[in-house]
Amino acid sequence: MNIETLTLEAIRDGIRERNFTSEEVVTALFDRIKLIEPKVNAYITLCEEEALAQSKLIDKKIENGEKVGILAGVPIAIKDNICTDGIKTTCASKMLEDFIPPYDAFVIKKLKEADAIIIGKTNMDEFAMGSSTENSAFKKTKNPWDLERVPGGSSGGSASVVGACIAPASLGSDTGGSIRQPAAFCGVVGLKPTYGLVSRFGLIAFGSSLDQIGPLSKNVRDNALILEVIQGHDPLDNTSTKNEIQKEYLKTIDSGVKGMKIGIPRQFFKDGLDSEISEAVLNAIEKYKELGAEVEEIDLPITEEGLSAYYIISSAEASSNLARFDGIRYGFRPQNFESVDELIEQSRSQAFGAEVKRRIMLGTYALSSGYYDAYYNRAQKLKKKISIQFKEAFEKYDVLLSPVSPVLPFKCGEKTNNPLEMYLADIYTINVNLAGIPALSLPCAFSKSGLPIGLQIIGSHFGEDKIFKAAYALEKSLGITGKTPVL
Ligand code: GLN
């Protein structure tokens, strides 16, 4: 079996049609993981025994003709900030190094109901703060297309495992770009769904008003298939949507882009954008015209302010969310302390990394009574305005296109001493989180040096169906998916 070339759907169908068993798939995958994982360092925890046991159970069910779920026997990897019952969930932090959740996140419950198999937990920036996965307390993940470069972040592990073909698909989380940017860096498809479409129950919170869980996959169809499984109302998340939602994206995915109205926000093509990325995105736009879409340039001026609003809001929420990690209720317990205050101080000083501390301090400052209006309140107003501008754009357009990242995957260590430069990696992705809308990163070209380039397709609230249609049409016409790195 050529496990590295198989998509999630192909694995699912192969098991269903009894061309191979789930046990054979899981065994082949772990054989490959043993070879490739030491090169990319993308997993924090592997669940080989449990996965094999699970695959045997599912094979039995299929053999006996019992009813099985829509992802029966299919392996999937999970970002390590999504709680998995009985499996360590560390957030790539010393703070949660030994944390074993006693429950499953909503998305994990859904995957299990669909009979998917969890194969491991992936590396990430500590508490999902970062753009290169270099903020992990445990290991540095590599980009499968160039092992000297970063995989992006914060879901760098989840993107790297799919890019390196050591998982057919994975889940990540996206607060300001953390699914889309690493997907672009690793040459895979990554979707940040509409805020509220996928429950955040069991996702360890960073910026709760921005966080969303979403799929990373080899192609667009697999992405839609996973979203069908993990989306839906959850009474345990009070921001989870109660709206009627589109249930079956795959049914309409192949209807093409003829007559589709596409907007190109001028503000996303300014100084600082790498020329090869700009060229690749312009080529994609030309392709859309050839495919029959109507393309126009538009203005979204307020989005230029998004980055500053994002770093105030996400840090403010993080400072509040991370208050629970004190060595008492949760987290690392220091060896020596003489008072409760000292216990808390030592727990947080010793177990949080530099970037997490920076965000907590920034957020606490922005929320302090003297500065609340000047920072947090102003950032909230900007968020609202950004949301309105997108809403107006979607009265005229079905989807918007832009680059995902202004730069190609950068070298490991290149930006670690310059947090501000690292923050700029999100300049094209954060506005989408502020507006609560969905966006997908689609591989659209390779640079001269062989590095993947991503195109961002942005949709309106609950407009995932249009995003998938647009992405699938381009994917088919470009024909670059399925290319795998030499490792
Ligand atoms: N890179 C951004 C940050 O550091 C986004 C992170 C994310 O989406 N989780 O905050």
Model pLDDT for residues 134-191, shown as the tens digit of each residue? 999 999 999 999 999 999 999 999 999 999 999 999 999 999 999 999 999 999 999 9
Q: Is the CB of 131 under 6 A from ligand 1?
A: yes
Q: Which helix (H) or strand (E) holds 171?
A: strand 169-174
Q: Is the CB of 104 under 6 A from ligand 1?
A: no
Q: How much is the pLDDT for 271?
A: 80
Task: Measure 46 CA to ligand 1 centroid, in angstroms.
Answer: 25
- Report the nearest atom of ligand 1 relative to the CA of 430: 5
Ligand 1, atom 10, residue with closest C-alpha: 129
Amino acid at 16: R
Beta strand 212-217 with 43-46 is unpaired
Q: Which helix (H) or strand (E) holds 229?
A: helix 220-230
Q: Which residues contact 224 (CB under 8 A, 6 or more apart)?
A: 249, 250, 253, 464, 468
Q: Is the CB of 314 under 6 A from ligand 1?
A: yes
Q: Is the CB of 355 under 6 A from ligand 1?
A: no
Residue 482 has pLDDT above 80, yes or no: no
- Report the nearest atom of ligand 1 relative to the CA of 178: 8
Tens digits of per-residue pLDDT, 213-254?
Answer: 999 999 999 999 999 999 999 999 999 999 888 889 999 999
Of 88-92, 129-133, 372-376, least confident by mean pLDDT is: 372-376
Mean pLDDT throughout 318-328?
A: 96
Residue 322's closest CA among 96, 37, 121, 86? 96
Compute the CA torsion angle 407, 139, 34, 185 (nearest 10 deg): -10
Point out which residues pair with 214 in neighbouring strands: 172
The residue ranking higher by pLDDT, 304 or 94, is 94
Structure tokens at 79: 């970002």
Q: Which of 125, 192, 200 to mutate to test the pocket of ligand 1 (most atoms within 8 A of CB)?
A: 125
Structure tokens at 221: 């169809």
Q: Which residues contact 344 (CB under 8 A, 6 or more apart)?
A: 326, 327, 328
Task: Measure 125 CA to ligand 1 centroid, in angstroms.
Answer: 9
Residue 398's closest CA among 474, 472, 460, 461? 460
Q: Which helix (H) or strand (E) holds 279?
A: helix 275-290
Tens digits of per-residue pLDDT, 329-342?
Answer: 989 999 999 999 99
Q: Is the CB of 176 under 6 A from ligand 1?
A: yes
Write down all domains in the chain, each with its CATH number in brackets.
3-262+395-478 (3.90.1300.10)
Cα–Cα distance for residue pair 149/159, rounded to 1 Å: 13
Task: Measure 91 CA to ligand 1 centroid, in angstroms.
Answer: 13
Which residues carry out catalysis? 79, 154, 178
The CB-side HSE value for 7 (13 A sphere, CA atoms) comes to 19
Structure tokens at 248: 């079956």
Mean pLDDT of the chain, nearest integer: 96
Q: How much is the pLDDT for 13?
A: 98
Q: Residue 419 — pLDDT band, cuts 50, 70, 90?
A: confident
Q: Which of 81, 131, 307, 311 to mutate to test the pocket of ligand 1 (most atoms within 8 A of CB)?
A: 131
Task: Measure 163 CA to ligand 1 centroid, in angstroms.
Answer: 20
Of 247-251, 299-303, 344-348, 434-438, least confident by mean pLDDT is: 299-303
- Report the nearest atom of ligand 1 relative to the CA of 129: 4
Q: Is the CB of 154 under 6 A from ligand 1?
A: yes
Cα–Cα distance for residue pair 12/14, rounded to 1 Å: 6
Say if CB 438 and CB 231 are below 8 A apart. no
Q: Is the CB of 152 under 6 A from ligand 1?
A: no
Per the confidence metrics, is the pTM higher than 0.95?
Answer: yes
Mean pLDDT throughout 59-88?
A: 97
Share of the chain above pLDDT 90, in %: 92
Q: How much is the pLDDT for 9?
A: 98
Q: Which helix (H) or strand (E) holds 160?
A: helix 156-163
Q: Is the CB of 284 under 6 A from ligand 1?
A: no
Residue 302 has pLDDT above 90, yes or no: no
- Report the nearest atom of ligand 1 relative to the CA of 422: 1
Structure tokens at 377: 């309140």
Q: How much is the pLDDT for 480?
A: 85
Q: How much is the pLDDT for 247?
A: 82
Q: How much is the pLDDT for 78?
A: 98
Ligand 1, atom 5, residue with closest C-alpha: 176
Task: Measure 339 CA to ligand 1 centroid, in angstroms.
Answer: 35
Q: How much is the pLDDT for 400?
A: 98
